Each structure stands twice: as C-alpha cells, then as structure tokens.
Structure 1
Amino acid sequence: MTAQMIFVNLPVKDLDATKAFWTKLGYSFNPEFTDENAACLVFSDTIFAMLLTEPFYRSFTDKEVADAATTTETMIALSAESRAKVDELVDTALAHGGTPGNATQEYGDWMYSRSFQDPDHHIWEIVWMDVEKMRAQAGPGAAQD
C-alpha cells in the first residue's frame, strides 16, 4: 500500500495569529497550500494540518462548527523523540500563547504525554513512547508492528 497523506482540517479565528504561534514552535507552512483563507501546517512529508479561517471552513460543511473553547471536536497526538522533547514542545507552546490541555499522563518508563491547547483551543497531545519497553512489560500478545 502506498503511504497516504493526512490533512487534518481545523477552523481558526485569526489565521495570522495561528501561523505565528506554530512558527514559534518551530513548524513551517507549505506556501503552495497557504493563502488568506488557509495555511498548510507541515508536520512531515505526509502529515499536515489545514488551518482554515472559520468562514472558509464553514464552506466545506453544512454542520455547525464546534466551539473548541467549550466542546471537544478532536484531540490530535504528535509523537516526540523523548520525554525531554515532550516537555520542550509543550513548555514552548505554553510560553507563546498556548494554554494547558489535559493532565500529564505517565505510564511507567515506556510512555509519557502532555498536552496544550492552541490559540483556538484545539487540543494537541505530545507523546513519547518506547514501544520495545511496552512490549517487554506487556509480555506475549503485546502490540506488534
């Protein structure tokens, strides 16, 4: 199977402020898919978030757009290469306009996560996981690649 691309679409109130927030976290945007209505936030060669102004987002759906400040429409998890990187990214987000997300989660010595809310209150979980330690602790039948 060919690797698929993932585009998570999220409504934003202030596109320029949202772009500035993510830029401060060290991320970039694909200019080919970025204009006054949308910004294509790049996570990898195959994973992107389309940050759409609310009016533009509404043009793609007949449903009411969730107010992420009071409801949860999604929680997006991003992997990190270490516990320290989890803390670094979340602390940077909090220092640049993000707000705390869910409680820190720690599962022994094999998984650690923290989260933040971006300026539009979308919840982003940053997760470090040592799959080999997880498998060793879980024993036979643990998740396989």
Structure 2
Amino acid sequence: MTKELWLNLPVKNLKKSKEFFTKIGFSFKNREMENMIAMEVGEKKVAVMLLDESTFKNAAQNEITDTNQSSEILISFDAESREEVDELAQKAEAAGGTVFGKPSEIQGWMYGCGFTDLDGHRWNALYMEMSKMPQG
C-alpha cells in the first residue's frame, strides 16, 4: 500500500522557486535533478516536488492550470503560533509572493493567512487552537 505521499507542482523557474521557498523557511532534499527538486514540508517531511512545467505537463498528460484564472489545489499546513502565521505572510510577500488572505481569526479557533508562490499556487498557513474547536 501507500508508503509516502508527494505533491507535484509545476513551476516556471526551479531556481527562483527554490529561493522563494527557502526564504519563507522550507527545506530541500539534497538530491536535485535538472528538471525537478524535492521540498520537505513538516515534521513528517511530506515531499512537494517542484517540476519544471514541461516535465509536469508530460507526467500529468494534461494542460497546466492558469493560476491567474483558477485554482486546482489549496495546500494547507499548520503553524506553531499566531506569530509564525504573521511571519510567514511577511516572508512570503518579501520573497515575491502575494498574500491573498491577510492573517486573521477564522471560525473562532483558527488563525491563518493565504499566500501564493511565484507560480500562483495557493498556500494556507493555519495555527489551530484545538481546545477552542467546536464539538459536535
């Protein structure tokens, strides 16, 4: 059965994408290929593969979504604190991304922000106060 999970994202420029994600705090595996790099996310080190657009298109055997017109995925991850959410929003913007959802309280038990990377993929950073999560 399934041993690992990887997400694959098309990017226009691998070097610039790596710089962006490094600036906001993500790390990369040492193995790099000409057409893809592996980013590690979270304690479980989920792999987010950044593939140049032609490699992605070949693998997916489909057109790439125009992220200026629509979204195919919203990648959400947890933050350790409200302050980390605020910092991520600032870092994403400073690194060339766009904050589309400024840091704010959500449903009384989450605090989050939304930003896009250099290729328009949408990311959602959330700090969740589980003790305040509605029961039911």
TM over 0.5: yes
After TM superposition, give the deviation of residue 59 of structure 1 in Å.
1.3
The one-letter code matched in structure 1 to 2:46 is: I
The percentage of aligned residue pairs carrying the same residue is: 36
Q: Distance in 2 between matches of 1:98 and 1:14?
A: 14
8 A Cα contact 1:69 1:120, kept in partner: no
Q: Distance in 1 between matches of 2:126 and 2:28?
A: 22
Structure 1 pair 100–36 and aligned structure 2 pair: CA distance change class (3 A): same
Which position in structure 1 is the counterpart of 2:59?
60
The one-letter code matched in structure 2 to 1:100 is: V
Q: Distance in 2 between matches of 1:130 and 1:37?
A: 39
Which position in structure 1 is the counterpart of 2:26?
27
Which position in structure 1 is the counterpart of 2:39?
41
TM-score by length of 2: 0.89
After TM superposition, give the deviation of residue 107 of structure 1 in Å.
3.0
Q: How many pairs align?
A: 135
Structure 1 pair 115–4 and aligned structure 2 pair: CA distance change class (3 A): farther
The one-letter code matched in structure 2 to 1:14 is: N
Moved more, 81-90 or 61-70: 61-70
State whether structure 2 residue 88 is matched by structure 1 residue 89. Answer: yes
After TM superposition, give the deviation of residue 20 of structure 1 in Å.
0.6
8 A Cα contact 2:97 2:118, kept in partner: yes
After TM superposition, give the deviation of residue 36 of structure 1 in Å.
1.5
8 A Cα contact 1:5 1:46, kept in partner: no
State whether structure 2 residue 124 is matched by structure 1 residue 125. Answer: yes
Give the structure with higher Rg (CA).
1
Structure 1 pair 119–59 and aligned structure 2 pair: CA distance change class (3 A): same
The one-letter code matched in structure 2 to 1:42 is: E
8 A Cα contact 2:85 2:103, kept in partner: no
Higher relative strand content: 2
After TM superposition, give the deviation of residue 28 of structure 1 in Å.
1.4
The Cα RMSD (Å) is 1.9
- Structure 1 segments unaligned to the other structure (5+ residues): none
Q: Distance in 2 between matches of 1:107 and 1:100?
A: 16
Q: Distance in 1 between matches of 2:82 and 2:3?
A: 28
